[in-house]
């Protein structure tokens, strides 16, 4: 375990770094964290039963930096790892850095200063994607799509387009009170597929004050070996959407967010369906059809959210799934 006995007060920020077989990228990731211009940190590295040199790299960094806390456990999946880190966190704020990504040196200083200045529950920055295969990079800013305005404080429930964007939970800073007081945790399903989906939804539901800053401070690596790319986890996305429904219902938000949840699920399911082999498509569309029927029954196919084309495709999934399947619709 990392030595934290010399840290008497709680740090300003707890950074969670979930790790599983990432020896290829971990040095760059941790180096970008320990050299941050903001140093009032604890860095919680959760080794999820890695079988390569991941644990050794974490221990090497922990020997030189007392801010690093090492949690070494048998493999139990991303959600369980993150929840263990959240339960261990002592900071006023919580940040997340995926172990195959890296961050700019001033990322947490800028996020912390902004959160403190505007009394935010959640603040996020913009990010750059790096394709491991092609080497190409892209700067991602959903402001260009009119989904939010950078530099302005807003409440997600009053600006619902934010619910539709890529979760990118690693590009932000969260008030720990927001997470703890509202029971915001990850779904503990096996592996590391989609668990950010429900977590991000819960954060948006309960956040009163949010801001996106117009600075590209996180570097997100698109890794072809990522668990989310595995077609073997056909129904993981369904479990996340079910958790979203459960959370909304428990907080009296099902009616208000019904169309939003249906549209979110439509996008997730369509993406998942496109990447599956035909045998897996048959399995998946049965579940999708069942859920789509319920969306119609709930009156969630509202014209202000769903275009006529999308409503037609979902009607086909709900009532004629095999026509959809054989027509190769996406």
Q: Locate the domains of the chain by residue range.
A: 13-229, 236-327
Contact 131, 50 (CB under 8 A): no
Q: What is the DSSP letter of 154?
A: B
Give the pLDDT of residue 6: 47
**119-127 average pLDDT score:** 97
**50-67 average pLDDT score:** 98
Confidence of residue 145 (pLDDT cuts 50, 70, 90): low
Give the pLDDT confidence of 81-109 residue by residue, as tens digits. 999 999 999 999 999 999 999 999 999 99
pLDDT tops 60 at residue 226: no
**Around Cβ 220, how many Cβ atoms within 10 Å?**
21
The C-alpha atoms of residue 181 and residue 173 are separated, in whole angstroms, by: 16
Give the pLDDT of residue 236: 86
**19-31 average pLDDT score:** 97
The C-alpha atoms of residue 3 and residue 57 are separated, in whole angstroms, by: 16
The C-alpha atoms of residue 290 and residue 318 are separated, in whole angstroms, by: 7
Q: What tokens were used for 168?
A: 């990118």
Confidence of residue 28 (pLDDT cuts 50, 70, 90): very high
Q: Does 184 or 136 have the greater pLDDT score?
A: 184
pLDDT tops 80 at residue 330: no
- For the chain, what percent of residues have pLDDT higher than 90? 75
**303-313 average pLDDT score:** 93
Lowest mean pLDDT across 35-49, 122-136, 143-157 = 143-157
Q: Does 223 or 114 have the greater pLDDT score?
A: 114
Following CA atoms 303, 304, 308, 309 in sequence, which dihedral angle do they give, to the nearest 10 degrees?
-140
Confidence of residue 324 (pLDDT cuts 50, 70, 90): confident
**192-206 average pLDDT score:** 90
Q: What tokens were used for 70?
A: 């090492």
Fold of the domain built from segment(s) 13-229: Spore Coat Polysaccharide Biosynthesis Protein SpsA; Chain A (3.90.550)
Taking all residues of the chain, what is their mean pLDDT, rounded to a whole number?
91
pLDDT tops 70 at residue 123: yes
Give the pLDDT confidence of 277-291 residue by residue, as tens digits. 888 898 999 999 999
pLDDT tops 60 at residue 305: yes
The C-alpha atoms of residue 139 and residue 217 are separated, in whole angstroms, by: 10
| CA geometry: angle 123, 172, 273, nearest 5 deg | 120
Lowest mean pLDDT across 2-16, 37-51, 276-290 = 2-16
Give the pLDDT of residue 133: 81
| Residues linked to residue 95 through DSSP beta bridges, in sequence order | 15, 173
Handedness of CA 310, 311, 317, 322 (dihedral sign): negative
Q: What is the pTM of this model?
A: 0.91
Residue for token pair 């073997």: 232
């Amino acid at each position: 375990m990392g030595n934290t006995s010399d840290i008497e007060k709680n740090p300003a920020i707890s950074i969670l770094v979930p790790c599983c077989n990432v020896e290829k990228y971990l040095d760059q990731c941790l180096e970008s964290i320990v050299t941050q211009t903001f140093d009032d940190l604890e860095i919680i590295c959760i080794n999820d039963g890695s079988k390569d040199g991941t644990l050794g790299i974490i221990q090497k960094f922990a020997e030189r930096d007392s801010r690093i806390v090492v949690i070494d456990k048998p493999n139990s999946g991303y959600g369980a790892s993150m929840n263990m880190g959240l339960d261990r966190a002592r900071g006023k704020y919580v940040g997340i850095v995926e172990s195959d990504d890296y961050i700019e040196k001033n990322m947490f200083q800028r996020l912390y200063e902004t959160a403190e200045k505007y009394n935010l529950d959640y603040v996020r920055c913009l990010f750059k994607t790096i394709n491991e295969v092609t080497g190409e990079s892209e700067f991602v800013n959903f402001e260009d799509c009119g989904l939010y305005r950078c530099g302005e404080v807003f409440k997600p429930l009053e600006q619902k387009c934010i619910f539709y964007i890529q979760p990118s939970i690693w590009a932000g800073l969260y008030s720990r009170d927001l997470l703890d007081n509202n029971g915001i945790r990850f779904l503990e399903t096996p592996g590391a597929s989609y668990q950010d989906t429900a977590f991000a939804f819960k954060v948006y539901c309960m956040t009163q004050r949010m801001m996106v800053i117009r600075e590209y401070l996180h570097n997100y690596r698109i890794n072809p070996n990522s668990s989310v790319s595995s077609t073997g986890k056909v129904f993981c996305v369904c479990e996340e959407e079910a958790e979203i429904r459960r959370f909304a219902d428990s907080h009296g938000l099902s009616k208000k967010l019904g169309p939003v949840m249906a549209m979110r699920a439509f996008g997730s399911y369509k993406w998942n369906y496109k990447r599956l082999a035909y045998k897996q498509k048959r399995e998946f569309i049965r579940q999708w059809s069942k859920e789509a029927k319920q969306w119609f029954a709930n009156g969630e196919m509202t014209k202000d959210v769903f275009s006529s084309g999308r409503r037609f495709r979902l009607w086909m999934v709900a009532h004629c799934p095999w026509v959809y399947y054989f027509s190769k619709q996406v």
